[in-house]
C-alpha cells in the first residue's frame, strides 16, 4: 500500500505540473496587447509597454518564463490579479470564491447523497412498484429537461411562492443560498438514485443473494448487510471526486443565481485575460481532480478489504 501511495502521489504531482505547464505556455502564445487594458493601450507608448512587460518577465523566452513560474509555484506564489481584482494576490482572490462554493456545494452534495442513496435503495427494494416508477420518472425528467429550464422552475417556485431571494446576496447569505443549493442537489439526486438502484439490482441477481435467502436471512438483512454494502463500493470510488469538484463550484448554477463563487471565476478570468488567475484556477481544478481519483481508490479499499492496490496481485 505504501509503495502504491508513493507511486500515485508522484504520478499526481507530475500530472498536475504537466497540466499547469501546458496552460501556462498556451497563455504565453497570446499577443502581449492583452496584458493591457484599453485605457493603457491608448495612453502608454511602445517603450512604456515594453518596459512593463520586461519588468514582469513577459519578454523572456517561454521556457524561461515557465521555469520562473514553477519556482514561484514551489513557494506557493501565484502572483497577483491584473483584471479581476487589481494587484490582489491570486491566492486571496481564489480563496474568497472557493469558500462560497465550498459551503454551497457541500450542503447540496450532502442532501443529494442522503436523498439519492435512500431513494435508490427503496427503488431497488420495491422494484417495478409505485416508488420505483416515481424515482425513474424523476430521473428521466431531470436528465431530459435542460438545466436552465429546471433552474427556472425552481426560481419561480422558490421566489414567488416561498419568497426566497432570486439572486445571491452577501447580506442574506442563508436565505439566498437556498435556491442554488436546491438546484445543485436536484441534479445530483437523480444521479445517485440511478446508480444506487442499478448497482443494487445487479447485486440482487447474484448467486450469493440466493444463498443468503436459503440460509433464512430476511429481505431487510440481505438488503443492508450484503447488497447495499457491495453496491456502494463502485459509488464510493467517485464520491471523493464528486465532493472535491462540487466544492469547486458549478458554473451554470452560480452564473444563474449570480453567486460569486468558483464557477464564474475561470470564465471571467479568461474573458478578461487575467492570466495569473487562470493559472491559479487551472492548478486548483487539476489538483482537485487528481486528488479525487486517488481518494476514491483508497475509499474503495477501506470499504471492501478484498480490493488490493499495487503489487502483482493488484485487482484495482
pLDDT digits 0-9 by tens, 59-98: 888 889 899 999 999 988 888 888 888 889 999 999 988 8
| CATH class label, 90-303 | mainly alpha
What is the grid cell recorded at 301? Answer: 479499499
Q: Maximum Cα–Cα distance for the chain, whole Å?
A: 87
Neighbour count for residue 137 (Cβ, 10 Å): 10
What is the grid cell recorded at 22? Answer: 501546458
Residue ranges of the domains in the chain? Answer: 2-74, 90-303
Q: What is the mean pLDDT of the chain?
A: 84
Question: Which of helix, strand or coil describes residue 80?
Answer: strand
| Mean of pLDDT values over 275-283 | 90
Alpha-carbon distances of 299 from 21, 77, 237, 290, 293, rounded to whole Å: 30, 32, 7, 14, 10
What is the grid cell recorded at 47? Answer: 517603450
More confident residue, 300 or 177: 177
pTM: 0.80
Q: What's residue 18's pLDDT? A: 94
Question: Which of helix, strand or coil describes residue 86?
Answer: coil
Render pLDDT for 155-184 as a digit per residue (tens, 0 to 9).
998 988 888 888 888 888 888 999 999 998
Distance from C-alpha of 222 to C-alpha of 233, rounded to nearest angstrom: 16
Q: Find the distance separating the first CA and the last CA of the chain, reported in whole Å.
A: 12
Amino acid at each position: 500500500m505504501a509503495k502504491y501511495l508513493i507511486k500515485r502521489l508522484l504520478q499526481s504531482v507530475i500530472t498536475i505540473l504537466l497540466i499547469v505547464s501546458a496552460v501556462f505556455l498556451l497563455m504565453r502564445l497570446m499577443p502581449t496587447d492583452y496584458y493591457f487594458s484599453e485605457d493603457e493601450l491608448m495612453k502608454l507608448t511602445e517603450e512604456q509597454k515594453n518596459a512593463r512587460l520586461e519588468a514582469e518577465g513577459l519578454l523572456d523566452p517561454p521556457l524561461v518564463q515557465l521555469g520562473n513560474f514553477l519556482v514561484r509555484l514551489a513557494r506557493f506564489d501565484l502572483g497577483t490579479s491584473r483584471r479581476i481584482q487589481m494587484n490582489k494576490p491570486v491566492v486571496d482572490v481564489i480563496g474568497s470564491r472557493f469558500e462560497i462554493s465550498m459551503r454551497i456545494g457541500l450542503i447540496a452534495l450532502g442532501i443529494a447523497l442522503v436523498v439519492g442513496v435512500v431513494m435508490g435503495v427503496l427503488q431497488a427494494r420495491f422494484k417495478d412498484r409505485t416508488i420505483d416508477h416515481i424515482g425513474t420518472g424523476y430521473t428521466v425528467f431531470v436528465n431530459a429537461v435542460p438545466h436552465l429550464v429546471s433552474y427556472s422552475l425552481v426560481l419561480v417556485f422558490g421566489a414567488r411562492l416561498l419568497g426566497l431571494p432570486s439572486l445571491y446576496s452577501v447580506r442574506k447569505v442563508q436565505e439566498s443560498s437556498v435556491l442554488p443549493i436546491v438546484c445543485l442537489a436536484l441534479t445530483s439526486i437523480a444521479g445517485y438514485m440511478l446508480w444506487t438502484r442499478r448497482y443494487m439490482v445487479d447485486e440482487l441477481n447474484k448467486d450469493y443473494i440466493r444463498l443468503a435467502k436459503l440460509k433464512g436471512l430476511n429481505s431487510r438483512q440481505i438488503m443492508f448487510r450484503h447488497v447495499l454494502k457491495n453496491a456502494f463500493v463502485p459509488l464510493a470510488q467517485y464520491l471523493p471526486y464528486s465532493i472535491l469538484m462540487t466544492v469547486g463550484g458549478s458554473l451554470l448554477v452560480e452564473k444563474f443565481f449570480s453567486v460569486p463563487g468558483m464557477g464564474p471565476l475561470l470564465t471571467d478570468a479568461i474573458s478578461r485575460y487575467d492570466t495569473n488567475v487562470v493559472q491559479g484556477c487551472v492548478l486548483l481544478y487539476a489538483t482537485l481532480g487528481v486528488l479525487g481519483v486517488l481518494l476514491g481508490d483508497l475509499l474503495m479499499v477501506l470499504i471492501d478489504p478484498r480490493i488490493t492496490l499495487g503489487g502483482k496481485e493488484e485487482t484495482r
